[in-house]
Structure 1
Amino acid sequence: CHMTIEPSTFLAVPTLEELNLSYNNIMTVPALPKSLISLSLSHTNILMLDSASLAGLHALRFLFMDGNCYYKNPCRQALEVAPGALLGLGNLTHLSLKYNNLTVVPRNLPSSLEYLLLSYNRIVKLAPEDLANLTALRVLDVGGNCRRCDHAPNPCMECPRHFPQLHPNTFSHLSRLEGLVLKDSSLSWLNASWFRGLGNLRVLDLSENFLYKCITKTKAFQGLTQLRKLNLSFNYQKRVSFAHLSLAPSFGSLVALKELDMHGIFFRSLDETTLRPLARLPMLQTLRLQMNFINQAQLGIFRAFPGLRYVDLSDNRISGASELTATMGEADGGEKVWLQPGDLAPAPVDTPSSEDFKPNCSTLNFTLDLSRNNLVTVQPEMFAQLSHLQCLRLSHNCISQAVNGSQFLPLTGLQVLDLSHNKLDLYHEHSFTELPRLEALDLSYNSQPFGMQGVGHNFSFVAHLRTLRHLSLAHNNIHSQVSQQLCSTSLRALDFSGNALGHMWAEGDLYLHFFQGLSGLIWLDLSQNRLHTLLPQTLRNLPKSLQVLRLRDNYLAYFKWWSLHFLPKLEVLDLAGNQLKALTNGSLPAGTRLRRLDVSCNSISFVAPGFFSKAKELRELNLSTNALKTVDHSWFGPLASALQILDVSANPLHCACGAAFMDFLLEVQAAVPGLPSRVKCGSPGQLQGLSIFAQDLRLCLDEALSWDCFALSLLAVALGLGVPMLHHLCGWDLWYCFHLCLAWLPWRGRQSGRGEDALPYDAFVVFDKTQSAVADWVYNELRGQLEECRGRWALRLCLEERDWLPGKTLFENLWASVYGSRKTLFVLAHTDRVSGLLRASFLLAQQRLLEDRKDVVVLVILSPDGRRSRYVRLRQRLCRQSVLLWPHQPSGQRSFWAQLGMALTRDNHHFYNRNFCQGPTAE
């Protein structure tokens, strides 16, 4: 599409200071106010700048015009900047003209420029006059103008032969220059005169060139005494890796150098001759040597570097201790190995790690990164003379040995050890005990040994690590045959996510005290442990010192909130990503120190009133990504005003007129992140996915009043028409039917039948007293529901231990109970072994059927297995309402009691299936 801007659109805003017109298909610069300080015209169709385009913008300091002519925004010509077009911008300090197909540097640029970015154009020739008068320039980027296309991640045009051409004095007059970018410029040599006069240069980027030979001989760095950062990455020879590399002596002149990037140069050995000139640099802190195909490395050479803090040797092919001899050699003097195209593929992306769990190595004095190499075993000889090493990363290797306390003997000062993504065997009791100062140990993603059937694993080494504070055993699929308890007095944080703790806790009490021995534990992560339930006794056996507990991404469908009092110091509880349906089962207990609660990404649709009100310390609550239709003030009580964060985004809120949550969210709006944009409606349909403020309140009506008025008017019309008509046509018939139905009501029938022939009991309850669960159900559930909870419709039950008369024989009491009750109720846990009183009562009930032609049997079966009996199945077929099954879901119990009341108050004759029989009738 094409944007049209009226001539005076921006002139109407005379105080405008910043304007971004990027990614609009405008073709000319519109009229702009003189107050403008920052202007962005990137990714537009503006291909011409002259003196009139930006006339009068004397206050302009920042001008960005990137990407107006390149492969993503193609054009048939290059951006044309007329000579002197920008000369009138006397305060311009930042000018960016990247990706514009420029072939020359624009002439007569303002002398006030401090930042000039001309990268990825087609400027293949630079001379002093191209940068004339730019004496204030601090950063110059001319990289990517003459590219090496074998390493290009996007469409690339090969650099012409014998180019680029840089005049020896191109930069000599830029005495204030601090940053120079010459990356991806096809440079194969460095002229020392290019850097003459650049005494203030701090950053030099020479990456992605052809300097693999030059860096072994050049003298170009001798005058760069203020250089802090030098990037030489990917200066490799096509398809070749060298046996040796020796840096030129001129590197020793970079006395202020702090960071050197040499990854992607491709040399196979690292010894003391490789980096010898760098050993004299007192300020060198960071050395990057990754992706060089190094297979032999003498790690002890870093002992000679006085200020070195970080060495990156990741993504190489180091397989063990090096036995190299000190061999002098140039980059092109040793044996060459021709590389296949697959060897230059990018390194795999890291999987999520525990960087947020373990201490940051950047604060330590010396870190060595050997991750993603070919290490199979670790030998002490590898780390000789590295006693000052404090952080060692060995992740993503193939280490499969059993660590026994001898692998890291020289590393007496090591504090952080990363062994994640390996195949370590944790069997020895003294593993890692040779590291007396170890504080953080990452053993995550070592799952292969734990998946071996029948092999035990020993965690007793944790108790011997007296200074260990952080331990990760995450994502190891730990589920059985491990130590029954972790013990440590120093451990403060434990990451146990990604295991099978649900399976371990299901093994009775075997692993119930697994974490109890961590007396000082503060931070515990039990995410992704396949937990379906979390019993109170489980929380009771967690360390009392716990302050942070993470239970994310499990299968918890409910949580006993009162059990939080077992963790008196808990401040953070994370239950995100579970299957909670409602926040009920009581409330957060009083006295809890909980400050942050995260229950996001569940299926919560209901919160009990006052659920959060007792947690006086609660300040951060995350309820996002649930099924809430409202947010009620009653959930929080007085706590609402103290909340600092209340996240309710991604919930299907019901944005009805007069919704109460609107007023509440406005009261606490300072605590609700993204209230105008992230809190959206889920219903009604026309507002779904829109902000809760998208509703036009002027169109709201009182829906309740409208429905009430409609119902009343409809009822009045129906009665006004129906009553006279029915009275005129069939008044006598309606009167007769009314009284007939009244006579059929159960309570009316019972009242009329209670005369001289009325029986003393409604039901005689028969059950097996030896089964405690059945007896408990009868006395507490059945009796309470039928005798106490039905009010004036309460039933009279006959119970053996309560209503039988002492002194009478068992048979006399049994006969009186069966014949003195309207129904005989059998409560059965099973139907395969019926004997004793149950059998005798059933025979008497059958005798009564033969004598009085009355079926008085009602069966209540508590176990699902009881329905397998042939008699039960036959009775269900003939008289279904006389066989009742106790429901397993609490939601079905109310229906069960209603059906049981009907079965005990009505004659079974009415329940028989007329398709099979007529049913017994009394004569």
Structure 2
Amino acid sequence: MLAVALAQGTLPPFLPCELQPHGLVNCNWLFLKSVPHFSAAAPRDNVTSLSLLSNRIHHLHDSDFAQLSNLQKLNLKWNCPPAGLSPMHFPCHMTIEPNTFLAVPTLEELNLSYNGITTVPALPSSLVSLILSRTNILQLDPTSLTGLHALRFLYMDGNCYYKNPCGRALEVAPGALLGLGNLTHLSLKYNNLTTVPRSLPPSLEYLLLSYNHIVTLAPEDLANLTALRVLDVGGNCRRCDHARNPCVECPHKFPQLHSDTFSHLSRLEGLVLKDSSLYQLNPRWFRGLGNLTVLDLSENFLYDCITKTKAFQGLAQLRRLNLSFNYHKKVSFAHLTLAPSFGSLLSLQELDMHGIFFRSLSQKTLQPLARLPMLQRLYLQMNFINQAQLGIFKDFPGLRYIDLSDNRISGAVEPVATTGEVDGGKKVWLTSRDLTPGPLDTPSSEDFMPSCKNLSFTLDLSRNNLVTVQPEMFAQLSRLQCLRLSHNSISQAVNGSQFVPLTSLQVLDLSHNKLDLYHGRSFTELPRLEALDLSYNSQPFSMRGVGHNLSFVAQLPTLRYLSLAHNGIHSRVSQQLCSTSLWALDFSGNSLSQMWAEGDLYLRFFQGLRSLIRLDLSQNRLHTLLPCTLGNLPKSLQLLRLRNNYLAFFNWSSLTLLPNLETLDLAGNQLKALSNGSLPSGTQLQRLDVSRNSIIFVVPGFFALATRLRELNLSANALRTVEPSWFGFLAGSLEVLDVSANPLHCACGAAFVDFLLQVQAAVPGLPSRVKCGSPGQLQGRSIFAQDLRLCLDESLSWDCFGLSLLVVALGLAMPMLHHLCGWDLWYCFHLGLAWLPRRGWQRGADALSYDAFVVFDKAQSAVADWVYNELRVRLEERRGRRALRLCLEERDWLPGKTLFENLWASVYSSRKMLFVLAHTDQVSGLLRASFLLAQQRLLEDRKDVVVLVILSPDARRSRYVRLRQRLCRQSVLFWPHQPSGQRSFWAQLGMALTRDNRHFYNQNFCRGPTMAE
């Protein structure tokens, strides 16, 4: 089937990769060991971007990219990382052949970062952007980047630092980059540089040299870089008490910045001097920087300087200033007063002052900022502020965002006089534990709670020490539109008086507190409130016997968004929520299963929300959802979330009770099958998510009647196939069909492959994320990785299975039978062999008179006695109907004939000649003559008729006997010493006398005598 699909061109064209919009072929995270060569049927000329991020490609060949004639962007990041950056610290070296990239003359962007390369490979002249970060390249000379006249962006960060150690510094030879006449962006961060590279191209606009060891800067270091717009030299002389990674303390009396270092950089717009151990700011550093808009001075020692510096007087164009973490080691100050020169920053829009550590925020603190008409964002978090006069922000009409989170504000304070000095009050010594930032709040989905980014005034007081909220805190803040009070310890009963001054408030976040919702007029003092977050206030709801009043919702006429999530609400609450304005309600993380188990008490809990559009009932421990329950949900619902419950059954026909429902989310439940009915006809459902269930079966036609369905998520279930019969005519209308993370059975002729190829535009990650779950050899591989050699006929497969099972059974039975009854089987086998030829000989009994002519030395009485009384009796009298006819000299020779005539007749009238010998070293007389006649018969008739019986096995054996043992072992028999072996001897002798000696010859040495033609 794959071969047919390939011939018809229906397979995804860039297997195993995925074609994405704008000509991007995504091959990320496929564990490829070589660059894939796409088929000629693929539209390779349309490929402009190829991403091979995070694979295992260690060798790049000249022809790897030659087929992509219009390739412009190539990402080879994280294929062969250096030892220090490898998760297992294994060394890796990437080999790049000389013409690998030269074969792509259209290439403009190349990312070779995080690869073990030691030299810059040959590159095409069309290259515009080159990333060589986190490699092993430690030297740049004028020949390294020859011919790259179009190059504008060069990044070589982290080629020699603590994670990628090299024991030296990156060497940039003077003038090594001077030939790059169009270079505008150069980044050499984390390379152990001690000086600014010499003779950099004057076209540079962005120069990033942070986190090296450049502790001295003079005008000549940046002499010809007059076009610079951004300069980053931070982290070169660090303050290690605030370092988050290995740090080397800044030497004493360093860094040394010449007064005129930046004076000639008149076009400079951004300057980064962070983490540079600066104690003072020299106003001359900023002289001539009239276009400077961004200045980063964070993580220095400017706690005293910012109270009296004049360095900001000439920075009228500055828009963003970062002074964060300019604290005194282990000290927090009582007060902070900014220097008057801050008032000169007339264009300042954003000021970051978190982590300076002062305990009181008053009007004096920010007085110079009140004259800044464009100031919009002020960051004061993590300062250990415990007293804050929030009313001072009335004097900042342009402020849109104030961040006072992660402080210790506990309530309203009265205005107090300050000394105006940074250390004008008592110093408090801090431990290192106090300097650790708290966890960031996780943003919620804007479907259920809007953000404040578009509002005109936001105040963030989250993660403070508030226990109660008093209206005095927000006096003169009537224009405040968004207030965040999450992660405090507010445990009061809100009664409608706490937020009286906030007449313009639209969004109120009170999550992660301990609010007591008892009063029916809670929050009614907020006439414009649109969004209220009361999630994670579970402590009052966990108190046994305490009632909770949610009737206040009906008193909020403009409320649009309400979150009561993760409160553990289960009993003793209002029987019904009522609101004509509410659009979205997040009720996840409660216990509706317990509420709805109380008969009809809470059956209509949501029915009073007449305008509700979105409802989240996730994590409510629901095991079933009855039609009467769905029927009492608001008819206006368009989105219903039921994620992460315990639903093993869903009555799909009850969706008719929600006529406007467009999105249904049932992910993370326990559905086993979609079999009870189907999606009802006429439903408005457009998006259905049943991912992360245990669905193993879908009834045919289940989705067919939902004609408006456009997005379907069936991922992470237990489906072994995807049948077109599930969808009917709907399949062609689907925009998204996610079937990833299912254990699909990739049998030969699987119909789901054809179906997915037909709708492949709607299947996200079809080439790489849709994988086989069986058979075992394909588990975890793409459904298109199937080996056609595995596609065998099913009946033949069963036959092979049966045959292999039989072989295994015999292989196990044979050793066991041999161990238990080996001797019996051997005896029966040889007895049968001796019997079969005898029956054949009896059919031709007229041919020869005797079965064997017994030859022995009559002079040896012991031998004669054994022949007459043992051999004769055994072979003639005790074998029954299988008795042999022996020819004996004294009994069967005819009187009157000569000795030779009788001997001749006996030899040629017998099938075999049985020589009974006591020893083999000396043979004469009749024995010798008989043996010579046997040899003559061998030459004439080509029949070997000799059988030797040696009665003394210990006697010395002649060379003839030893040779015959080697060639025809079964024709040489020895009389056993032990009586237990005599039965075997007689059986072997009977077989030797009844079968042709040709069957006994060792084929490794001789084929035996052949029959005469």
TM-score class, shorter-chain normalisation, is 0.7 to 0.9
Aligned-pair CA distance for 1:701: 2.9
Find the counterpart in structure 1 of residue 159 from structure 2: 68
| Contact map agreement 2:702 2:726 (CA 8 A) in 1 | yes
State which of 524, 541, 550 in structure 2 corresponds to 1:433.
524
Find the counterpart in structure 1 of residue 476 from structure 2: 385
Find the counterpart in structure 1 of residue 89 from structure 2: none
2:605 matches 1:545: no
2:385 matches 1:311: no
Which structure 2 residues correspond to residues 159-178 of structure 1 after superposition, within 5 A?
A: 159-178=250-269
Kindly provide the amino acid, as one letter, of the partner of residue 374 in structure 1: N
| Contact map agreement 1:272 1:326 (CA 8 A) in 2 | no
Aligned counterparts of 1:11 and 1:388: Cα–Cα separation in 2: 62
Q: Deviations over 1:221-262 (max 9, x none)?
A: 111111111110000000000100011111111111111100
Q: Deviations over 1:511-531 (max 9, x none)?
A: 001001111111100000000
Aligned-pair CA distance for 1:299: 0.3
Percent identity of paired positions between Structure 1 and Structure 2? 83
Q: Which has the larger radius of gyration?
A: 2
| Contact map agreement 1:201 1:227 (CA 8 A) in 2 | yes
Aligned counterparts of 2:122 and 2:581: Cα–Cα separation in 1: 68
Aligned counterparts of 1:355 and 1:403: Cα–Cα separation in 2: 26
State which of 677, 686, 689 in structure 1 corresponds to 2:777.
686
Aligned-pair CA distance for 1:699: 4.8
Aligned-pair CA distance for 1:707: 4.6
Contiguous gaps of at least 5 residues in structure 2: 1-91, 806-1013
| Contact map agreement 1:651 1:680 (CA 8 A) in 2 | yes
Aligned-pair CA distance for 1:703: 2.6
Aligned-pair CA distance for 1:60: 1.3
Find the counterpart in structure 1 of residue 883 from structure 2: none
Find the counterpart in structure 1 of residue 62 from structure 2: none
Aligned-pair CA distance for 1:356: 5.0
| Contact map agreement 2:570 2:592 (CA 8 A) in 1 | yes
Q: Deviations over 1:703-731 (max 9, x none)?
A: 3576589999x9xxxxxxxxxxxxxxxxx
Secondary structure of the 2:477 match is: coil
2:124 matches 1:33: yes
Aligned counterparts of 1:443 and 1:424: Cα–Cα separation in 2: 8
Which is further off, 695-704 or 237-246? 695-704
Aligned counterparts of 1:648 and 1:582: Cα–Cα separation in 2: 15
2:231 matches 1:231: no
Secondary structure of the 2:211 match is: coil
Aligned counterparts of 1:112 and 1:706: Cα–Cα separation in 2: 70
Which is further off, 625-634 or 21-30? 21-30
State which of 177, 191, 195 in structure 1 corresponds to 2:282.
191
Aligned-pair CA distance for 1:351: 5.0
Which structure 2 residues correspond to residues 630-641 of structure 1 after superposition, within 5 A?
A: 630-641=721-732
Kindly provide the amino acid, as one letter, of the partner of residue 226 in structure 2: T
State which of 620, 624, 639 in structure 2 corresponds to 1:529.
620
Find the counterpart in structure 1 of residue 552 from structure 2: 461
Q: Deviations over 1:797-821 (max 9, x none)?
A: xxxxxxxxxxxxxxxxxxxxxxxxx
| Contact map agreement 2:382 2:437 (CA 8 A) in 1 | no
Q: 1:702 to 1:193 in 2, by over 3 A?
A: same
Aligned counterparts of 2:98 and 2:616: Cα–Cα separation in 1: 61
Find the counterpart in structure 2 of residue 779 from structure 1: none
Contiguous gaps of at least 5 residues in structure 1: 715-923
Kindly provide the amino acid, as one letter, of the partner of residue 434 in structure 1: E
Moved over 4 A (4+): 351-356, 704-712
Find the counterpart in structure 1 of residue 878 from structure 2: none
Find the counterpart in structure 2 of residue 471 from structure 1: 562
Q: Deviations over 1:568-599 (max 9, x none)?
A: 00000000000000001100000000000000
Which is further off, 696-705 or 479-488? 696-705
Aligned counterparts of 1:349 and 1:359: Cα–Cα separation in 2: 18
Find the counterpart in structure 1 of residue 490 from structure 2: 399
Aligned counterparts of 1:463 and 1:13: Cα–Cα separation in 2: 67
Q: 1:251 to 1:356 in 2, by over 3 A?
A: farther
Kindly provide the amino acid, as one letter, of the partner of residue 421 in structure 1: H
Find the counterpart in structure 2 of residue 796 from structure 1: none
Find the counterpart in structure 2 of residue 785 from structure 1: none
Secondary structure of the 2:434 match is: helix
Kindly provide the amino acid, as one letter, of the partner of residue 728 in structure 2: G
| Contact map agreement 1:269 1:294 (CA 8 A) in 2 | yes
Find the counterpart in structure 1 of residue 219 from structure 2: 128
Aligned length: 715
Aligned counterparts of 1:426 and 1:21: Cα–Cα separation in 2: 58
Aligned-pair CA distance for 1:282: 1.1
Kindly provide the amino acid, as one letter, of the partner of residue 398 in structure 1: S
Find the counterpart in structure 1 of residue 139 from structure 2: 48
| Contact map agreement 2:308 2:338 (CA 8 A) in 1 | yes
Aligned counterparts of 1:313 and 1:451: Cα–Cα separation in 2: 31
Kindly provide the amino acid, as one letter, of the partner of residue 649 in structure 2: Y
Q: 1:282 to 1:485 in 2, by over 3 A?
A: same
Kindly provide the amino acid, as one letter, of the partner of residue 291 in structure 2: N
State which of 504, 516, 534 in structure 1 corresponds to 2:607.
516
Cα RMSD over matched residues?
1.7
Aligned counterparts of 2:544 and 2:130: Cα–Cα separation in 1: 66
2:744 matches 1:653: yes
Under a length normalisation based on structure 2, what TM-score does the superposition of the two structures give? 0.69
Aligned counterparts of 1:15 and 1:571: Cα–Cα separation in 2: 47
Which structure 2 residues correspond to residues 328-343 of structure 1 after superposition, within 5 A?
A: 328-343=419-434
Q: 1:710 to 1:72 in 2, by over 3 A?
A: closer
Aligned-pair CA distance for 1:533: 0.6
Secondary structure of the 1:368 match is: strand
Secondary structure of the 1:363 match is: coil
State which of 337, 340, 357 in structure 1 corresponds to 2:448.
357
| Contact map agreement 1:422 1:445 (CA 8 A) in 2 | yes
Find the counterpart in structure 2 of residue 613 from structure 1: 704
Find the counterpart in structure 2 of residue 671 from structure 1: 762
Under a length normalisation based on structure 1, what TM-score does the superposition of the two structures give? 0.76
Kindly provide the amino acid, as one letter, of the partner of residue 524 in structure 1: L
Find the counterpart in structure 2 of residue 845 from structure 1: none
Find the counterpart in structure 2 of residue 566 from structure 1: 657
Aligned-pair CA distance for 1:658: 1.1
Aligned-pair CA distance for 1:37: 1.7
Aligned counterparts of 1:73 and 1:293: Cα–Cα separation in 2: 37
Kindly provide the amino acid, as one letter, of the partner of residue 27 in structure 1: T
| Contact map agreement 1:395 1:418 (CA 8 A) in 2 | yes
Kindly provide the amino acid, as one letter, of the partner of residue 325 in structure 2: F
Kindly provide the amino acid, as one letter, of the partner of residue 526 in structure 2: L
Q: Deviations over 1:464-496 (max 9, x none)?
A: 111111110000000001110011111111000
Aligned counterparts of 1:663 and 1:348: Cα–Cα separation in 2: 49
Aligned-pair CA distance for 1:83: 0.7
Aligned counterparts of 1:433 and 1:12: Cα–Cα separation in 2: 71
Aligned-pair CA distance for 1:36: 1.9
State which of 364, 375, 386 in structure 1 corresponds to 2:466.
375
Aligned counterparts of 2:445 and 2:375: Cα–Cα separation in 1: 29
Find the counterpart in structure 2 of residue 16 from structure 1: 107
Which structure 2 residues correspond to residues 137-286 of structure 1 after superposition, within 5 A?
A: 137-286=228-377
Aligned counterparts of 1:137 and 1:710: Cα–Cα separation in 2: 75
2:574 matches 1:489: no
Q: Deviations over 1:135-173 (max 9, x none)?
A: 111111100000000000000000001110111111111
Kindly provide the amino acid, as one letter, of the partner of residue 504 in structure 2: G
Secondary structure of the 2:96 match is: coil
Aligned counterparts of 2:755 and 2:789: Cα–Cα separation in 1: 20
Secondary structure of the 1:658 match is: coil
Aligned counterparts of 2:241 and 2:336: Cα–Cα separation in 1: 22
Aligned counterparts of 1:111 and 1:144: Cα–Cα separation in 2: 24
| Contact map agreement 1:679 1:692 (CA 8 A) in 2 | yes
Kindly provide the amino acid, as one letter, of the partner of residue 620 in structure 2: N
| Contact map agreement 1:101 1:121 (CA 8 A) in 2 | yes
Aligned-pair CA distance for 1:355: 5.3
| Contact map agreement 1:199 1:226 (CA 8 A) in 2 | yes
Q: Answer 1 or 2: higher relative contact order, Cα 8 Å, separation at least 6.
A: 2
Q: Deviations over 1:251-310 (max 9, x none)?
A: 111111111100000000001110111111111111000000000000011111011000
